[in-house]
């Protein structure tokens, strides 16, 4: 098994520890203890100073002033790392023989994915994850923030899923990334449309048309929804459309690296997957289960 979605830095403030070879070695030890042979270090692009400055202000398109203010404050409270230093450390870990890949979690920026591609160009990434974390200026998964939480009560759940899916479709169509991270993140609170088939079909079509893989992630088990991403009906659609999958924890500390491996394996088996996708230099290859 693989864990292609890990972070060194928790949310809730600026990057709190140095990215060091020693820190990455600790992640590898935790992964190995859980039966995982390789991990990708995939920090959010916006947590690095240069990209954060280049992409800041994307929230200004939203007409809701409270949401704009909330996301702006959150954004600047989360940034502060140096991208070149991060890349240097991960490459040093690879050179030292650690089973790590250089990755990045690349959030969706409506109408700005060409700018994102320019920021990423020239770096020796192994795998790029694409994710949707905000709808307009609403950072819908920043749960516990009163402005964010209130918006969950203000919007119809169908509108939430539709806004999220439109973002995922644009992200996939841009072909900037390799893997759709936590593809049904819009279920994070446990709220779903009575019949979500329309959105599942659109998500599967977006992944298949783009040639991207999709992530099977244990992160949802740790969230209010209490189940992995994606839900079994969506994973089945991915399988039927020939969409490859990776596996992931979305860990933000060592303790959750490679967690819930048996649950993820059971999901893959039930959907009929016999292999998962590995990556080197953004080239996909098959890893037998």
Per-residue model confidence (pLDDT) at position 18: 73
End-to-end, the C-alpha distance of the chain in Å comes to 7
State the Cα–Cα distance between residues 218 and 223, nearest whole angstrom: 10
Mean of the pLDDT values across residues 212-236? Answer: 98
Q: Which of 255, 246, 254 is nearest to 287 (CA)?
A: 246
- Confidence (pTM): 0.97
Mean of the pLDDT values across residues 198-218? Answer: 98
Task: Tell me 133's DSSP state.
Answer: -
Per-residue model confidence (pLDDT) at position 47: 96
Residue 16 confidence (pLDDT) above 90: no
State the Cα–Cα distance between residues 219 and 258, nearest whole angstrom: 10
Per residue in 26-68, pLDDT tens? 999 999 999 999 999 999 999 999 999 999 999 999 999 999 9
Quickly state the pLDDT bin for 179 (edges 50, 70, 90).
Answer: very high
State the Cα–Cα distance between residues 205 and 216, nearest whole angstrom: 17
Per-residue model confidence (pLDDT) at position 51: 97
Q: How many CB atoms lie within 10 A of CB 288?
A: 6
State the Cα–Cα distance between residues 264 and 217, nearest whole angstrom: 7
Per residue in 135-159, pLDDT tens? 999 999 999 999 999 999 999 999 9
Q: What is the CATH number of the domain that holds 28?
A: 3.20.20.140
Per residue in 61-87, pLDDT tens? 999 999 999 999 999 999 999 999 999
What is the Rg, in whole angstroms, of the alpha carbon atoms belonging to the chain?
A: 18
Structure tokens at 143: 């749960």
Residue 131 confidence (pLDDT) above 90: yes
Residue 260 confidence (pLDDT) above 90: yes
Q: Which of 107, 94, 116 is nearest to 280 (CA)?
A: 94
Per-residue model confidence (pLDDT) at position 19: 80
Residue percentage of the chain with pLDDT more than 90 = 97
Structure tokens at 203: 């998500």
State the Cα–Cα distance between residues 136 and 144, nearest whole angstrom: 19
Per-residue model confidence (pLDDT) at position 245: 98
What torsion do the CA atoms of 83, 86, 88, 91 make, to the nearest 10 degrees? -120
Number of domains in the chain: 1
Structural domain boundaries, residue 256 = 2-288
């Amino acid at each position: 098994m693989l864990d292609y979605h890990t972070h060194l830095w928790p949310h809730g403030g600026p990057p709190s520890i140095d990215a060091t070879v020693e820190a990455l070695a600790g992640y590898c030890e935790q992964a190995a203890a859980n039966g995982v042979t390789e991990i990708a270090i995939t920090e959010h692009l916006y947590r690095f100073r240069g990209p954060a400055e280049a992409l800041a202000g994307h929230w200004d398109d939203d007409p809701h002033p409270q949401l704009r203010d909330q996301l702006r404050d959150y954004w600047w409270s989360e940034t502060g790392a140096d991208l070149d230093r991060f890349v240097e450390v991960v490459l040093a870990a690879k050179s030292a023989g650690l089973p790590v890949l250089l990755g990045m979690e690349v959030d969706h920026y409506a109408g700005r994915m060409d700018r994102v591609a320019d920021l990423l160009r020239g770096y020796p990434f192994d795998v790029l994850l694409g994710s949707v974390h905000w709808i307009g200026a609403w950072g819908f998964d920043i749960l516990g923030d009163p402005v964010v939480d209130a918006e969950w009560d203000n919007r119809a759940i169908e509108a939430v899923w539709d806004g999220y899916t439109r973002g995922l479709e644009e992200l996939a169509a841009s072909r900037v990334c390799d893997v759709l991270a936590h593809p049904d993140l819009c279920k994070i609170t446990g709220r779903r449309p009575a019949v979500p088939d329309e959105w599942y079909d659109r998500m599967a079509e977006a992944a298949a048309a783009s040639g991207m893989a999709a992530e099977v992630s244990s992160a949802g088990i740790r969230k209010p929804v209490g189940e992995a991403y994606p839900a079994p009906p969506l994973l089945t659609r991915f399988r039927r459309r020939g969409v490859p999958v990776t596996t992931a924890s979305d860990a933000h500390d060592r303790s959750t690296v490679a967690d819930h491996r048996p649950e993820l394996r059971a999901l893959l088996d039930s959907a009929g997957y016999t292999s998962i996708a590995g990556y080197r230099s953004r080239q996909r290859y098959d890893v037998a289960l």
